[in-house]
Amino acid sequence: MRITDKIIVTMFVCFLGMICILHMMTRDTTFSEQENRILEKKPTLSLKNVLTGKFMDQYELYISDQFAWKKSWLQIKAVSEKAMLKQESNGIYFGKDGFLFERFKEPQDQLNKNIEYISNFAEKNKHLDYYMLLAPTSVEIYKEKLPIFGQSYSQKEVLDDIQKKLLHSIEFITVTDALIDHKNEPIYFKTDHHWTMQGAYYAYTQAAQTFGFEPYSIDDFNIEMLSNDFYGTFASKVVGHRVEPDKIEMFEPLKHTTYSVQFNDKNEISNSLFARSFLKKKDQYSFFLNGNHSLVTIKSSVKNGRKLAVMKDSYAHVFIPFLANHFEEIYVIDLRYFHHDINDFIWENSVKEVLFLYNVVNFSTDTSLIWLKR
């Protein structure tokens, strides 16, 4: 072996040794504020886990999450990607005007299963009125801002297919055109996968026609800017790259309406649809409706007898505050965590209307709708 080869091997072994020592000296972190997620814990060493290969798989994830000086290495990775003029990192495209986009892949069989679960549920409970709103994500609205060679499957094509396959008694609320009409306004976050409250407002005005109520005009709200330093889920996936933060706005109706908001999984009651404490945290989007809960019960001072159950993902969190001005009671159900019998719940609470509200991407892959079969 040549001397230069020996030097390179020695340096590499020393580098690995240094990393091992640093890893042993560094305390594990439970939660990453930057990535906004819980990090992997050290897996349990057992004969069964070793023989099945599960231990090594989990340990690889653990090392990846708890790697010493991870933030610095990610910054180095980001610099090298910029030097190579890469337009994508960790599945996130760098679009024009500061937009970050996640590619939408062609849906697989899970989408058809979800359509079937909802249609069968509606068929069994014919006495209820059903609505479905599937919101497109930003990559569908701003296709022209994708980088060169950036690809994303057509969400419009998927929406058309869902509408054809869905049980006809379920009223399909189409909002894509309304959002495109207002695409020059801040209707989506640039660093996050959600729409903004302004985007949800335009969807609400479109949905009002189907629900049969007169929507509030935009002048009927006090619009307050609450944060100008929000970094969302897309930003968390491209740590190390320079990203401009988003702003968070709140639409509060000028007409006085009172609310009683119960978070059933925490046994807490609030008089607000918003949680300002989250504005001081990384997960600022949880300002809307206090984040994810298995069941949230909203009772308003609107006395019209209308009771609505909303089965949803987090896109609903900025939409429901608009609906709360038109329904006496709203039951917000997250099927990822709510595993009680839905039929019994609807009967016990005298619910007459049901809304399914998801973004297209999440609806295409969500496995929790199987709970509708109970």
Higher pLDDT, 312 or 87: 312
> Does one domain contain both 170 and 242?
yes
> Does one domain contain both 155 and 70?
no
Q: Is residue 307 domain-resident? A: yes
Q: Is residue 140 domain-resident? A: yes
Q: Is residue 14 domain-resident? A: no
> Does one domain contain both 170 and 243?
yes
* Domain housing 31: 24-96
Q: How confident is the model at residue 234 (pLDDT cuts 50, 70, 90)?
A: very high
> Does one domain contain both 190 and 290?
yes
Final residue belonging to a domain, choices 73, 96, 119: 96
Phi and psi at 262, nearest 5°, equal -105, 125
Distance CA 283, CA 235 (A): 12
Distance CA 250, CA 113 (A): 36
pLDDT exceeds 80 at position 22: no
pLDDT exceeds 70 at position 169: yes
> Does one domain contain both 127 and 224?
yes
Average pLDDT, integer, range 37-56 = 60
Which tokens hold the place of 7? 């030097």
Distance CA 243, CA 94 (A): 10
- Global pTM reads 0.82
Final residue belonging to a domain, choices 68, 96, 124: 96
Greatest mean pLDDT among 26-35, 83-92, 130-139: 130-139
Q: How many domains does the chain have?
A: 2
> Does one domain contain both 218 and 346?
yes
* Residue from 274, 327, 264, 275 nearest 301 by CA: 327
Q: Is residue 15 domain-resident? A: no
Q: Is residue 205 domain-resident? A: yes
Q: Classify each residue of 118-131 as buried b or exposed e, where b means 16 or more C-beta atoms within 10 Å of its C-beta.
A: bbebbeebeeebbb
Q: Is residue 69 domain-resident? A: yes
Q: What angle do CA 151, 239, 336 make, to 5 degrees?
A: 70
Sign (positive/negative) of CA torsion 74, 80, 83, 85? negative
Mutual orientation of helices 155-165 and 109-124 as an angle, nearest 10°?
A: 30
Helix (H) or strand (E) holding 110: helix 109-124
Q: How confident is the model at residue 26 (pLDDT cuts 50, 70, 90)?
A: low
> Does one domain contain both 347 and 253?
yes
Contacts of 5 by beta carbon, 8 Å cutoff, 6+ apart: none
Q: Cα 42 vs. chain centroid, distance in angstroms?
A: 27
Tell me which residue has tokens 């020059």: 184
Average pLDDT, integer, range 320-329 = 98
> Does one domain contain both 194 and 73?
no
Query: What is the spatial order of strands in the sheet that 88-89 belongs to?
Result: 88-89, 92-94, 100-102
pLDDT at 37: 47
Higher pLDDT, 253 or 3: 253
Q: Is residue 3 domain-resident? A: no
According to DSSP, the β-strands at 37-38 and 31-32 are antiparallel
Average pLDDT, integer, range 88-106 = 93
Distance CA 187, CA 210 (A): 21
> Does one domain contain both 151 and 297?
yes
> Does one domain contain both 115 and 175?
yes
pLDDT tens readout for residues 79-91: 455 545 577 888 8
> Does one domain contain both 109 and 89?
no
Phi and psi at 258, nearest 5°, equal -100, 150
pLDDT at 61: 56
pLDDT at 78: 46
Rounded to a whole number of angstroms, the distance between the first and last alpha carbons of the chain is: 68
Q: How confident is the model at residue 21 (pLDDT cuts 50, 70, 90)?
A: low
Final residue belonging to a domain, choices 96, 116, 142: 96
> Does one domain contain both 181 and 283?
yes
Alpha-carbon distances of 126 from 28, 51, 203, 305, 310, rounded to whole Å: 53, 51, 26, 20, 17
Which residue blocks in 125-212 are alpha helix, DSSP H?
138-141, 155-165, 176-181, 197-211
Tell me which residue has tokens 């159950």: 309
Q: Is residue 4 domain-resident? A: no
Distance CA 331, CA 299 (A): 9
pLDDT tens readout for residues 213-229: 999 999 999 999 999 99
